[in-house]
Structure 1
Amino acid sequence: MNTTCPQPVQEEVISLLDHGFVKLIDFMGSDLRTVNAARVSFGGVSKGEEKDKALIKYLMEHKHLSPFEHCTFQFHIKCPIFVARQWMRHRIASYNEVSARYTEVKDEFYIPSEFRVQDTHNKQGSLASKDLDNETLLKIYIDSIEASYRAYQRLLKAGVAKEMARGLLPVSQYTQFYWTVNARSLLNFISLRADGHAQYEIRVYAEAIEKIFKQKLPWTWAAFEALQNKI
């Protein structure tokens, strides 16, 4: 008897920023799954593509969203810690993150291609600017990261526990986590984090996930996009 555990099909890795990525590990469901989940209330099933698409549009427009929860995505994410902390504010999902208590942190930190200035009209936002001396500022930024990582290594070599030595590392450090999320919650994530007001570093992840969503649930995405265009 074959006791080997079946492995999910590995999807393409989408590289982001300087060391990050998004990878779809597993997916369960379909647009038809949402349709059937909605129609089970009346003991019904699919009524053909045209009517099924119309139902998904109706569900989206009238905020009958629980049927979309029957489609589930699982991602492997690698991103800077400050991006992960924004990400994990989306709580209707499951997370498992690598622990720097147990594993030694790699020399992988986010280095921006250029700095932005604070947006004076939006306290949460930032703007591109030609007034900054990026070469000088990047040197300050990189020197600080390198100094913190050298100090981290010195603490480890001196016998300090990983869970304590990690305390001096900056939030530009890369982390990795598994993220399992249903389609309803994922649309909420995309609507907020792919928006032009979201921070660039998380927006690129949301835009990559948006492309994956479109491929897996094209009818649902079309209904969602149509609704967004009305707002």
Structure 2
Amino acid sequence: MTPEQKAEIEAARADPQPTLRAVSEGMEAHLYRAHEVLDHGFVRVIDYMGDDAAITQAARVSYGRGTKAVSNDEGLIRYLMRHWHSTPFEMCEIKLHVKLPVFVARQWIRHRTANVNEYSARYSILDREFYIPAEDDLAAQSVTNNQGRGEALTGEEAARVLDWLREDSTRAYDHYEAMISQEGQQGLARELARMNLPANIYTQWYWKVDLHNLFHFLRLRADAHAQMEIRVYAEAMCKIVADWVPLAYQAFEDYRLGGAQLSAKGVECVRRMLKGEEVTQETSGMSKGEWREFMGVVDA
């Protein structure tokens, strides 16, 4: 972030306001502060609503006497998470300011359950900032996953790729600036000139979402199979959410991030294995891909 942006954030944090609404002490520590991600990106909390108590309060209104068997808030939250009762989690919301590469934003925007307002390159000029991967993050195409990475690039090939990424990004932005310049020419409209910019240029947006849909986002994007460049944002957000709603996050971590879902065939295979039967892919009724994923869960 620029020194001006940092000064603005510190000024906001230095001027707290009294409130009668529910406050999460863990989240208060994150308000406005930018958590750096990648080489130029960040995530920062602009506002939030609710806490763990908001979840249980909504659940008890919804289920009434049915919750009397649940002895405490933690137990109730774990029950809700375990049985996929999502509505009470929608009572909490968060608004984030995110700076991210455009190609990451295009993955992120597929989660259509949030409110988004993005920096507009139609009337504003994008900064000369590009995501350039660390050499360790350059990898070849995976031979088993069409949308994943395989072995790391090394030596001259890795150096050549990094040089091209830097050169192409710089050249595209130079031409962008030249096209919109009005010195000695009319200057191309910004909404047209932006088409020349690479997908690794940084954009920014405000992203507001309820906790239920945020958990869905994190379950997919904090997963080891997610692309690294979006996963690091999800991991930064996980730390924020863990401080905001610790009971809900613990349940989410246990049942979603750390849990596993089995098909009916998978459950049947586990039962057969527990009885001492030797089960193979050929006798499981699963495809090779299903069996590989199943064994990834049950094979210690």
Aligned counterpart, 2:297 = none
SS in 2 for 1:120: coil
Greater helix fraction, Structure 1 or Structure 2:
2
Deviation of 1:218 after TM superposition, in Å, equals: 0.6
Name the stretch that deviates more: 119-128 or 211-220. Answer: 119-128
Match of residue 205, structure 2, among 162, 165, 177: 177
Q: How many angstroms apart in 2 are the aligned matches of 1:67 and 1:110?
A: 38
1:186–1:7 Cα change, 3 Å: farther
Q: How many angstroms apart in 2 are the aligned matches of 1:7 and 1:134?
A: 53
Aligned counterpart, 2:176 = 152
Match of residue 92, structure 1, among 104, 108, 113: 113
1:69-218 map, 5 Å: 69-114=90-135, 115-131=138-154, 133-157=157-181, 158=185, 159-218=187-246
Q: How many angstroms apart in 2 are the aligned matches of 1:18 and 1:56?
A: 37
RMSD: 2.1
TM-score by length of 1: 0.91
Deviation of 1:50 after TM superposition, in Å, equals: 5.2
TM-score by length of 2: 0.71
Number of equivalent positions:
225
Deviation of 1:230 after TM superposition, in Å, equals: 3.6
> Alpha-carbon deviations, 1:92-151, whole Å to 9, x = none?
110000000010111111111122111110111113414452222211111111111111
Larger relative contact order, structure 1 or 2 (CA cutoff 8 Å, min sep 6):
1
Aligned counterpart, 2:275 = none
Q: How many angstroms apart in 2 are the aligned matches of 1:207 and 1:163?
A: 33
- Which is greater in Rg? 2
Deviation of 1:227 after TM superposition, in Å, equals: 1.1
Q: How many angstroms apart in 2 are the aligned matches of 1:136 and 1:43?
A: 64
Letter in 1 for 2:45: L
> Alpha-carbon deviations, 1:64-102, whole Å to 9, x = none?
111100000110000000000100100111000000001
Give identity over the alignment, percent.
44
> Alpha-carbon deviations, 1:170-226, whole Å to 9, x = none?
110100000000000001111100111111000000000000010001110111122
| Residue segments in structure 1 that go unaligned for 5+ positions in a row | 1-5
Q: How many angstroms apart in 1 are the aligned matches of 2:198 and 2:89?
A: 38
Q: Does the 8 Å CA contact 2:77/2:247 hold for their aligned counterparts?
A: yes
SS in 2 for 1:143: helix
Letter in 1 for 2:192: M
Q: How many angstroms apart in 2 are the aligned matches of 1:84 and 1:156?
A: 24
Q: How many angstroms apart in 1 are the aligned matches of 2:74 and 2:100?
A: 35
Q: How many angstroms apart in 1 are the aligned matches of 2:86 and 2:95?
A: 20
Q: Does the 8 Å CA contact 2:180/2:193 hold for their aligned counterparts?
A: yes
SS in 2 for 1:176: strand
> Alpha-carbon deviations, 1:31-90, whole Å to 9, x = none?
11000101102457x98x951111111111111111100000110000000000100100
Q: How many angstroms apart in 2 are the aligned matches of 1:103 and 1:42?
A: 49
Deviation of 1:23 after TM superposition, in Å, equals: 0.3
Letter in 2 for 1:28: M
Deviation of 1:160 after TM superposition, in Å, equals: 0.6
Q: How many angstroms apart in 2 are the aligned matches of 1:230 and 1:147?
A: 46
Q: How many angstroms apart in 1 are the aligned matches of 2:102 and 2:259?
A: 35
Q: How many angstroms apart in 1 are the aligned matches of 2:18 and 2:158?
A: 46
